[in-house]
């Protein structure tokens, strides 16, 4: 199946997809900051360069895009063109995520994953519910947590 837009237009569209400072990430950062949490962003010294690092709580938060990380939800659909490329790309992302998660846990960090579907789309949670879950986890002792849509 051929693409509905030119190769140049597709390249322009794909280059506009952000890896950092995404809308879900910004929403979480603002809400955490308003609640008094202070954090670092994208600490290169840690495996996977976590989106939000809370050193005081020995916790890191990854805000994952459902498409790029192959999440099993309504926001992920395997592309119909170049399927093998996308399957390898997404599987590579998932493998890297699992490896980084293990490295962080082994190093004593607590790890949370917040999925895009938790804050966006038809099955999203109320923003306050996402924040309540995150704050409870940050203040608790559980080593891992995942927030996903309904």
In the chain, where are the structural domains located? 18-147
**C-alpha dihedral, 53 to 46 to 15 to 84, nearest 10°:** -120
Q: Residue 32 has which token pair? A: 């955490």
Mean pLDDT of 129-140: 94
The pLDDT of residue 19 is 62
The pLDDT of residue 108 is 97
Whether the pLDDT of residue 1 is over 60: the answer is: no
Query: Per mean pLDDT, which range of 5-14, 61-70, 84-93, 101-110 is the poorest?
Result: 5-14
Cβ atoms within 10 Å of 109's Cβ, excluding its own: 20
CATH number attached to the domain at 18-147 = 3.40.960.10
> In this structure, are residues 112 and 145 in contact, taking their beta carbons and an 8 Å threshold?
yes
pLDDT tens-digit readout, 43-58: 999 999 999 999 999 9
The pLDDT of residue 127 is 77
Whether the pLDDT of residue 116 is over 80: the answer is: yes
The pLDDT of residue 2 is 62
The pLDDT of residue 16 is 59
**Tokens 């939000």 -> residue:** 52
The pLDDT of residue 121 is 80
């Amino acid at each position: 199946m051929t693409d509905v837009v030119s190769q140049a237009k597709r390249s322009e569209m794909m280059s506009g997809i952000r890896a950092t400072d995404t809308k879900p990430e910004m929403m979480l950062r603002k809400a955490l900051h308003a609640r008094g949490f202070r954090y670092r962003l994208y600490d290169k010294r840690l495996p996977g360069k976590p989106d939000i690092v809370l050193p005081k709580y020995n916790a890191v938060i990854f805000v994952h895009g459902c498409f790029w990380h192959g999440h099993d939800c309504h926001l992920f659909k395997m592309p119909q063109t170049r399927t093998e490329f996308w399957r390898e790309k997404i599987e590579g992302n998932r493998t890297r995520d699992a490896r980084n998660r293990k490295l962080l846990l082994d190093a004593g960090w607590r790890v949370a994953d917040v999925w895009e579907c938790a804050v966006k789309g038809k099955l999203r949670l109320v923003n306050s519910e996402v924040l309540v879950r995150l704050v409870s986890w940050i203040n608790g002792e559980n080593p891992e947590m995942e927030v996903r849509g309904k």
